[in-house]
Amino acid sequence: MHRIATLADVAAGLDALAGLDPRLVAVRRVAGEVPLRLIEPGFGSLASIIVSQQVSRASADAIFGRFAKLLDPLTPQAVLDAGEAVFREAGFSRPKQRAMLSAAAAVADGLDLVHLCELPAEDAIGRLTAVPGIGPWTAECYLLFAAGHPDIFPARDVALQAAVGHAFGLAARPGEKALAGIAESWAPWRGIASRLFWAYYRETKGRDAAPLAQNLEKT
For 16-39, how does the pLDDT look when each residue is reduced to its tens digit (9 = 90+)?
A: 999 999 999 999 999 999 999 999
Domain final residue pick, 98, 122, 146: 146
What is this structure's pTM?
0.94
pLDDT tens digits, one per residue of 53-67: 989 899 999 999 999
One domain, residues 52 and 142: yes
Domain span at 113 = 43-146
CATH number for position 184: 1.10.1670.40
The pLDDT assigned to 219 comes to: 31
Q: Residue 62 belongs to what H/E stretch?
A: helix 57-70
- The verdict on residue 211 lying in a domain is no
Q: What percent of the chain has pLDDT over 90?
A: 93
The pLDDT assigned to 103 comes to: 98
Q: Are 21 and 128 in contact (CB under 8 A)?
A: no
The pLDDT assigned to 1 comes to: 64
- The verdict on residue 215 lying in a domain is no
The pLDDT assigned to 216 comes to: 57
| Sequence-separated (6 or more) residues with CB below 8 Å from residue 201 | 159, 160, 162, 163, 209, 210
For the chain, residues with pLDDT lower than 50 are 217-219
The pLDDT assigned to 215 comes to: 66
